[in-house]
Structure 1
């Protein structure tokens, strides 16, 4: 996975339209949350879209970027040199969310957009994030749910016995992980985004361009041969609608608090539909 993301650094910005859209939606939650963070960390920061927005919003804060891929950080550093002065307070850390090279109680706001789903041990990810947060700190994140790329998953299932597409945690599992990791008052929202393609190969290019990979232990490690690719395209064609091939993404957006005095008191998870929330406004 680390090698894939390092290779993808040079192509990432050409294919990350979904990542940018989800990061924007996730950051919009800050409009309804009152915080004045001093230290912020962007976990799985990629090329720095989230970090840049956070630095703009919280001009007095120190914004740190963490990514497992050094090439991603180097790309972001190059972009930083072309940016405004407020980026001088941004720091960069090469590390793994599952084992953060960071001291306890270091951050007031932890942000992560579409990075947590790549972890092999999601419970460890959440515990590590909780460990590095200051009391009263906010964890704001987005991740992918189990309906993500369902068309691709179903098409692969017809031609192969081994999984080729990641399995993702559902919204209730995410809420349970937050609570068991010591977070309080988790609020989770679910939405579906459908990206339309002219053909399957365009989807595959986008996935490769952002470094997306299957981290399942049972995953197929062989290359997809020409014969299998043709069969896969035939199966995926069954999903064609109005001359386009859909690719579904189930996006889970959530936040929770690092409130030491509430730990272990049976906090409840709250689940909402983004559509319902929009109708309330």
Structure 2
């Protein structure tokens, strides 16, 4: 399932915005940290003793460190598109039995078939253009009987900002498009996963002014990376119009809400190995502890 052309992501821009955001990411990513922790808590309900674990979109490594603590005998690998994010992850991981860090794209996983028993991804799948391709790669990298557990954003995420922009610039592409959880579940089935389970919760972050929300989005690297985004600087007059349009959402307590539809899902790899097509030109990374 690929995104429509105006919403196709410019991966170079995605990487660049996360590179810039890496050093200050953890100071701003309060919601992202909360969702990550809630995702990891769900693993307490699963009886699993994985030998190798992959964290896709590890960022500064919060989930990878949590997985390393949860599965003390496991080898944990954290993959991210941004080298600067991985630098922060290395700094925070310490020296003893630290995870393996790999720079790579979630849509082109650089791992051999069936190497992981558990794959986790917290709020990274929304940065993938083609979910079918992404899930097929995860399915290939999972061993038979392995578990894929993830969180991502649904279509009501930043609905206030999207509506305000629609009033100011109806034809513009200003906010990412997020897939419905039923579409995500269908993509899991198409990729060959078994027993997919999806659920959703709404979370709200409040601000005194719209400028604070815009600052936080930039600070975590969540800038507009859509192919159809407007080019150049946004005129001050248009930003003022956006602020006025957002005011309709101001609450009685004086705060401005920013809504996030958080989707959680998990699915299992059937007890049948998946072998990728013969003759692939990719070179795969051996997974072993860092020295």
1:181: which partner in 2?
191
* 1:246 aligned residue (257, 264, 272): 257
- State the Cα distance separating 1:262 from its structure 2 match: 11
For the 8 Å contact 2:144–2:273, the answer to whether it is kept is no
Distance, in Å, in 1 between the alignment partners of 2:203 and 2:270 is 32
Distance, in Å, in 1 between the alignment partners of 2:248 and 2:139 is 44
For the 8 Å contact 1:195–1:247, the answer to whether it is kept is yes
Distance, in Å, in 2 between the alignment partners of 1:201 and 1:28 is 33
1:138-197 deviation digits (Å, cap 9, x = unpaired): 001000000000000000111112110011000100000000011110011111001110
Q: Structure 1-normalised TM-score?
A: 0.89
For the 8 Å contact 1:167–1:216, the answer to whether it is kept is no
1:137: which partner in 2?
146
- State the Cα distance separating 1:49 from its structure 2 match: 0.7
Q: Secondary structure at the match of 1:11?
A: helix
1:61-106 deviation digits (Å, cap 9, x = unpaired): 000010000000011111123x6x3xx2410000000011111111
2:218: which partner in 1?
208
1:223: which partner in 2?
233
Residue 29 (structure 2) pairs with residue 16 (structure 1):
yes
For the 8 Å contact 2:117–2:142, the answer to whether it is kept is yes
For the 8 Å contact 1:126–1:178, the answer to whether it is kept is yes
Distance, in Å, in 1 between the alignment partners of 2:233 and 2:120 is 34
1:279: which partner in 2?
none
1:170: which partner in 2?
180
For the 8 Å contact 1:45–1:65, the answer to whether it is kept is yes
1:75: which partner in 2?
88
Q: Secondary structure at the match of 2:264?
A: strand
Distance, in Å, in 1 between the alignment partners of 2:246 and 2:103 is 38
1:217-265 deviation digits (Å, cap 9, x = unpaired): 32223322211111111111110002000000000001000014599xx
Cα RMSD over matched residues?
1.4
Distance, in Å, in 1 between the alignment partners of 2:41 and 2:270 is 22
2:279: which partner in 1?
none
- Equivalent residue pairs, number: 259
2:101: which partner in 1?
92
For the 8 Å contact 1:48–1:65, the answer to whether it is kept is yes
Q: Structure 2-normalised TM-score?
A: 0.86
Distance, in Å, in 1 between the alignment partners of 2:23 and 2:217 is 14
Distance, in Å, in 2 between the alignment partners of 1:171 and 1:29 is 18
Distance, in Å, in 1 between the alignment partners of 2:273 and 2:99 is 32
For the 8 Å contact 1:111–1:141, the answer to whether it is kept is yes
Q: Which has the higher contact order (CA 8 A, sep 6+)?
A: 2
1:104-161 deviation digits (Å, cap 9, x = unpaired): 1110000000000011112111111111110000001000000000000000111112
2:42: which partner in 1?
29
Structure-2 change in CA distance of 1:262 and 1:75 (3 Å):
closer
* 1:234 aligned residue (244, 253, 268): 244
